[in-house]
């Protein structure tokens, strides 16, 4: 059974919807800048979404007084776009009530943005702080709030859950959705991830000393760490091909089993998840036309991922890039946002918005040079299959393969 991608929605530093993201990323300019929205002594560049919580609430028709984590608001903004896209593609405006929908969301931050607000007041005065701020603390609370919102808008949610495998969470949510669809447990799966920026993660990554004080430079010799970001990306998966963007053909999940937070230099886990996804898709490495990497810009990740690619592709690594300099590392949301962009590149047969920025010289150990975009891909051979990966703490690796819609006429032509 084929799994189709039939709706897309994304929000991140590069734009508040998919079209905006494509446009700003096509320009090749990073939007990362120091934190504006909350107080922190840390001056690292981040990928903040330009909309305030109130603006997000207004866009979603949520009362300003309602306590809602920014993680949920960003997520709903992207889900809303994905559902609108799905309705217009599939023509199933009323069908949403009839379809059994699974909502599978990845988040690692959960409602921490609000918990911090509570904690700050609570520390000075144990009776202080608005306890309502804690009502969305856990990732599951954020997903529940989002699910309730969707139900109130007529979506028939039969199952919702949260995956929290750190930075690979959205990838695992996408993978779970494809399995549940194939199993017949739902007709539609809304899958992806959301995370907001907060002091907790800023300080966490700073304590690990992997934040770059400059804008990150994935796969560059001079890379010095990652920049955090926030945002959300969701896909609507269906078994029905009507109006579909592309197909989800492969998925692989593997554990590095090497170190709690670091990758092995040879990229054992990334290699395993990439190979597993290719196998699931029934594709040879040479069938992959483009690779969207995790490419965080840390010393360790980019070397490990490069080595994994060299191994999986037996030295013939296809064009690849990292989008982190546009989005920042949006943690659990990253594979959601990037999967949306990958799907878009397949639909449009266009890689002009998929280029790495901030690159000047390759990692000496591997010599790999990322694709730098800013040219239309349309004249090149049709983009057929794209591999996209995300790797997280605790060795959680996930890779996905997206493929174009098979058009019998054009396959004959080839």
Partner 1 sequence: MLFIPHKHLYISGTSYVSADEPDYKEVITDANSRRRMGRLLKMAVWCGLKSLDGVPSEMVAGIITSTGAGFMKDTISFGSSIFDREETLLNPSPFMQSTFNTASGYIALIRKIHAYNTTYVQQADGFAASLVDAAMLLDDAGEGNVALVGAFDEVTPEVDAIRQRLGLYRVGDGFLPLGEGAAAFLLSAAMPTDVSESCRATESSTGLGGDDGSESDSWQSGDEAGSESASWPCDESGSESASEQDGDANSECSTGPLRESESASWPCDESGSESASEHGGEFGSKSSFCPLHEYGGTSSRSLNGTKDGNAALRFCGLANLSDLPKCAENSLAELFGINAGVNVISCADHVESLGAFRSLLPVLLCKLISEQQIPDGYTAIMDDVNEDGVIVLLHK
CB of 269 to partner 1, least distance (A): 7
Q: How far apart are CA 60 and CA 34, in angstroms?
A: 27
CB of 22 to partner 1, least distance (A): 31
Does residue 354 touch partner 1 according to CB under 8 A? no
Does residue 374 touch partner 1 according to CB under 8 A? no
CB of 334 to partner 1, least distance (A): 15
CA max distance for the chain? 72
Does residue 71 touch partner 1 according to CB under 8 A? no
CB of 348 to partner 1, least distance (A): 32
Q: How far apart are CA 32 and CA 14, in angstroms?
A: 9
Q: How far apart are CA 387 and CA 287, in angstroms?
A: 10
Strand pairing category for 396-403 and 385-391: antiparallel
3-class secondary-structure state, position 289:
coil
Does residue 254 touch partner 1 according to CB under 8 A? yes
CB of 362 to partner 1, least distance (A): 29
Does residue 151 touch partner 1 according to CB under 8 A? no
Does residue 119 touch partner 1 according to CB under 8 A? yes
CB of 139 to partner 1, least distance (A): 4
Compare residues 6 and 165 and give the one whose CB is closer to partner 1.
165
Contact (Cβ atoms closer than 8 angstroms) between residue 260 and residue 80: no
Neighbours of 128 (CB within 10 A): 12
CA 71, distance to chain mean position in Å, is 13
Does residue 153 touch partner 1 according to CB under 8 A? no
Does residue 155 touch partner 1 according to CB under 8 A? no
Question: In terms of C-beta density within 10 A (0-12 exposed, 13-18 middle, 19 or more buried), how is residue 131 classed?
Answer: exposed
Question: In terms of C-beta density within 10 A (0-12 exposed, 13-18 middle, 19 or more buried), how is residue 255 classed?
Answer: middle
Interacting residue ranges for partner 1, rule: CB under 8 A: 40-42, 108, 110, 115-116, 119-120, 123, 126-127, 131-132, 134-135, 137-141, 143-144, 158-166, 172, 176, 179-180, 183, 185, 199-200, 203-204, 206-208, 253-261, 268-269, 272, 392-396
């Amino acid at each position: 059974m084929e799994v189709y991608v039939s709706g897309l929605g994304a929000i991140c530093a590069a734009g508040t919807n998919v079209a905006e993201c494509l446009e700003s990323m096509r320009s090749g300019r990073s939007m990362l800048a120091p934190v504006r929205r909350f107080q922190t002594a840390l001056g690292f560049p981040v990928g903040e979404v330009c909309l305030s919580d109130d603006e997000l609430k207004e866009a979603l028709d949520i009362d300003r007084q309602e306590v809602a984590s920014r993680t949920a608001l960003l997520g709903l903004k992207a889900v809303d776009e994905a559902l609108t896209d799905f309705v217009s593609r599939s023509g199933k405006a009323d069908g949403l009530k009839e379809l059994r929908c699974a909502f599978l969301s990845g988040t690692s931050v959960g409602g921490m943005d609000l918990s911090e607000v509570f904690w700050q007041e609570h520390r000075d005065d144990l009776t202080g702080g608005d306890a309502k701020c804690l009502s969305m603390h856990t990732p599951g609370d954020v997903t529940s709030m989002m699910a309730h919102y969707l139900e109130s808008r007529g979506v028939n949610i039969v199952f919702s859950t949260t995956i929290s495998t750190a930075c690979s969470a959205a990838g695992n949510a996408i993978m779970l959705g494809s399995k549940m669809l194939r199993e017949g447990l739902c007709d539609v799966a809304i899958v992806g991830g959301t995370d907001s920026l907060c002091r907790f993660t800023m300080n966490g990554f700073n304590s690990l000393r992997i934040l770059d004080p400059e804008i990150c430079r994935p796969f560059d010799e001079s890379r010095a760490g990652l920049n955090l970001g926030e945002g959300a990306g969701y896909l609507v998966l269906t078994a029905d091909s009507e109006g579909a963007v592309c197909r989800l053909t492969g998925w692989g999940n593997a554990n590095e089993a090497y170190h709690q937070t670091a990758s092995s230099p040879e990229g054992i886990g990334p290699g395993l998840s990439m190979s597993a996804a290719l196998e699931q898709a029934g594709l040879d490495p040479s069938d992959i036309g483009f690779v969207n990497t995790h490419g965080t810009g840390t010393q360790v990740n980019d070397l490990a991922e490069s080595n994994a690619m060299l191994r999986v592709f037996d030295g013939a690594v296809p064009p690849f890039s990292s989008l982190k300099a546009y989005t920042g590392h949006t943690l659990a949301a990253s594979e959601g946002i990037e999967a949306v962009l990958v799907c878009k590149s397949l639909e449009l047969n266009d890689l002009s918005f998929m280029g790495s920025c901030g690159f000047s010289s390759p990692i000496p150990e591997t010599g790999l040079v990322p694709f730098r975009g800013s040219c239309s891909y349309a004249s090149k051979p049709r983009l057929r299959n794209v591999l996209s990966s995300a790797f997280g703490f605790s060795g959680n690796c996930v890779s996905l393969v997206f493929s174009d819609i098979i058009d019998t006429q054009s396959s004959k032509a080839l």
